Each structure stands twice: as structure tokens, then as C-alpha cells.
Amino acid sequence: MLQLGDEVTLYSVVFVVVLLGTRSAVWTTALTVSLYVFVAVFRFPQAPADRAKHILHPARGGHGSGKVSAIAHRGGAHDAPENTLAAIREASQNGATGVELDLEFSADGVPILMHDDTVDRTTNGSGPLSKIRFADLRKLDAAAKHRLRSKYSGEKIPTLEEAVEECIRLQLTIYFDVKSHPDEAAAALKALYKKNPVLYNSSIVCSFEPKVIYRMRQSDPGVVTALTHRPWSLSHLGDGVPRFSSPWKLGWMTLLDVVLDWALHHVLWRFCGVSAFLIQKNFVSQDYVQYWANRGVEVVAWTINTKMEKEFYQEIMHVSYITDSLLEDCEPHY
């Protein structure tokens, strides 16, 4: 029922806006019907609900009475150097249900794990990934900037394949976070799923970019996917600081934030056929979780870094969460 309500609202809004713009009932009707047909033809259905449930609530590794998933952010960036095999092993040892890993590419196109598009923040190297070949990336120390660098010294940047093999061996769920390169990422992930079919039941592809998710579903509609969102992300940084000093630019981006937020909640999620919505924790409420539950979509909160918050999500909200540490309270890793 609610889904029908969404659709009526969407097409009513489009109808009114186009009517105001064109002042022609014929054009307005034609455009609204075309949009309806376009969405109906090009949208992807959600992946089967039982498979999504298997991934989001695996039988093993549930936390608390809600049996929710605790997912180690970048493999657990606080407990070990982010996006490394050491982090994956540490997360498994500390009882994580799964890991969130960031997909990037070396200059020569090898899929690797890295969050940023430069190596400066995490390794002892410097420069953009787009300029460094895999053989040279491999010489860097991926633990160089971590608070526990002496313990993990010499840890390498792993390939996507190495990381996935380690996760499969340890029976960890994988949340692949893809920020860019929609075509390359979809191709790399498709090959990976083909080689390791267990991933269809144990991993989910997530992105802030609807284009990335749409591209993934196009190349393999069997893959379970999620959209990631932080309201006001176009105009403000994660810590609430405005991204732009010019009030005009800030105002414009704030307006785009409103449009993006509306589109994600009403159109884009369905166009992509996502099974989950990964949302910044400040925006999670019982009503919000219910909104998505009515649409067959599961909410995952990020980033939950204190014991008190974890208990709240496990016991009261029954919502899975992404965390920087399985061991102790810590500051968020942006």
C-alpha cells in the first residue's frame, strides 16, 4: 500500500511541476506517462528477500538479543590498519559478523582495497592511486600511519581477491563499498562473484552513488545491493562543517541535498532495487526503520563506536551497525 502511495506522490509531483512549466495538459500527460514507462522498464527488482536476509542477518555471528550484524568499518580501522588482511583477521577474532571494505584500483587497473584515492593518509608513500602501479603499491607499508603501526609493520595493501578469499575462509560477511569507477568496479565484482558464488549469499555491494549500484545490477542483477546516505552530505562534511564558504554555493548545494534525499527515499532506491539502506546514525529512528521495512529494505546504521550505542542498536532498535572497533569506544574514522 505504502509503495503505491509513494508512486502516486511521485507522479503527482512530476505532473504538477511539468504542468506549471509547460501549461499544457497534453505535454504534461505525455511526459508523466513517459517517465512512468521509463521507470517501469528500466528499474531493477529487489534481489530475493531470503538471500538479502541471509546476508544482512547471517545465522552465525549475530550480536545481542536482536541478533544484529556488527560490521567492522574498513575492516576495523581502529583495531588494525584499515583495509588490510590483518584488519580482516583481527575483526574475525574479535567477533565481527562481517567487514566493510573499500574497492579502489591501481594505475594499471588491479582491484585493491583502499579508502582514499591517494596513498598518503594510510601508507608511507605519496601520490594518487591513478599514478601508482600495483607493483609499486605493493612495496608500501599499509600500517605506516596507524596508531598500532609497530604491531602491524610491513602490512601490505591487499588485492580485492586476496581480501575476499580471507573473508570467505573466515566466514565473514562482506560489505563492498564502491565510491567511483562504476564500470570497472561492476566488471571486477562480477568476475569475483562468478569465481566465488558463495558471495551471492554472503556479500552486499554498497555505494553513495546510485549510478554505481545501477551499473552493478546491470552487469549482474543477482548481486544484493545497498545505497549509502548521509543527509546534507553535499553541503556539509561529516563533522557538520560547511563544505563551501560562499553562501550562494552553500545554498545551492543545500538545495541539491534536499532533492537528493527525496530522490533516494522515493525513486532511486527502487530504480536500483536495493535491499538495504546504510544511513548515518543520527538519522535512525524507529519510524525511519519502519519506513524502510514497509518497502522490504533493511536499515544499517553507521558509524556506531561506543558500547552504549551498540547496546541501544542491538537491544532496542534491532538494527545492524558498522563500527570502527569491536574492542573499545573510539572516535569515528572519517
Instruction: Check residue 198 for interaction with ligand NAG (CB under 6 A).
Output: yes
User: Given the rule CB under 6 A, which of 32-40, 58-66, 94-102, 137-145 is the region that contacts ligand NAG?
Assistant: 137-145
User: Given the rule CB under 6 A, which of 61-69, 195-203, 214-222, 274-282 is the region that contacts ligand NAG?
Assistant: 195-203
Contact 140, 119 (CB under 8 A): yes
- Give the 3-state secondary structure of residue 205: strand
| C-alpha grid cell, residue 182 | 562504476
Instruction: Check residue 128 for interaction with ligand NAG (CB under 6 A).
Output: no
Instruction: Check residue 222 for interaction with ligand NAG (CB under 6 A).
Output: no
By beta-carbon proximity to ligand NAG, the closer residue of 193 and 313 is 193
Select from 139, 195, 243, 307 the one that contacts ligand NAG (CB under 6 A). 139
Instruction: Check residue 141 for interaction with ligand NAG (CB under 6 A).
Output: yes
Is the alpha carbon torsion for 140, 71, 185, 222 positive or negative?
positive
Instruction: Check residue 135 for interaction with ligand NAG (CB under 6 A).
Output: no
Contact 76, 325 (CB under 8 A): yes
Instruction: Check residue 155 for interaction with ligand NAG (CB under 6 A).
Output: no
d(CA 123, CA 162): 19
DSSP 112-162: EE-SSSBSTTTSS--SBGGGS-HHHHTTS-TTTTSTTHHHHTTPPPPBHHH
Query: Residue 102 corresponds to which amino acid?
Result: D
Q: How far is the CB of 167 from ligand NAG (least distance, A)?
A: 14
| Binding string, residues 26-65; x marks residues near ligand NAG by CB under 6 A | ------------------------x---x-----------
Of 108, 107, 116, 105, nearest to 74 (Cα)?
A: 116
Instruction: Check residue 140 for interaction with ligand NAG (CB under 6 A).
Output: yes
Q: How far is the CB of 48 from ligand NAG (least distance, A)?
A: 9
Contact 183, 215 (CB under 8 A): yes
Instruction: Check residue 197 for interaction with ligand NAG (CB under 6 A).
Output: yes
d(CA 9, CA 151): 56
User: Given the rule CB under 6 A, which of 31-39, 100-108, 198-206, 314-322 is the region that contacts ligand NAG?
Assistant: 198-206
Q: How far is the CB of 63 from ligand NAG (least distance, A)?
A: 21
Select from 94, 201, 218, 280 the one that contacts ligand NAG (CB under 6 A). 201
By beta-carbon proximity to ligand NAG, the closer residue of 112 and 267 is 112
- Give the 3-state secondary structure of residue 15: helix
- Give the 3-state secondary structure of residue 226: strand
Give, as one character, the DSSP assignment of residue 328.
Answer: S
By beta-carbon proximity to ligand NAG, the closer residue of 142 and 278 is 142
Instruction: Check residue 127 for interaction with ligand NAG (CB under 6 A).
Output: no
Q: How far is the CB of 43 from ligand NAG (least distance, A)?
A: 24
The conformational region for residue 23 under phi > 0 = left, psi -120 to 50 = alpha, else beta, is left
Residue 179's contacts (CB-CB under 8 Å, 6 or more residues apart) are 102, 103, 104, 207, 208, 209, 212
Instruction: Check residue 171 for interaction with ligand NAG (CB under 6 A).
Output: no
Query: Residue 247 corresponds to which amino acid?
Result: P
d(CA 111, CA 188): 7
User: Given the rule CB under 6 A, which of 5-13, 138-146, 214-222, 271-279 is the region that contacts ligand NAG?
Assistant: 138-146
Q: Which residues bind ligand NAG (CB under 6 A)?
A: 50, 54, 124-125, 139-141, 154, 197-198, 200-201
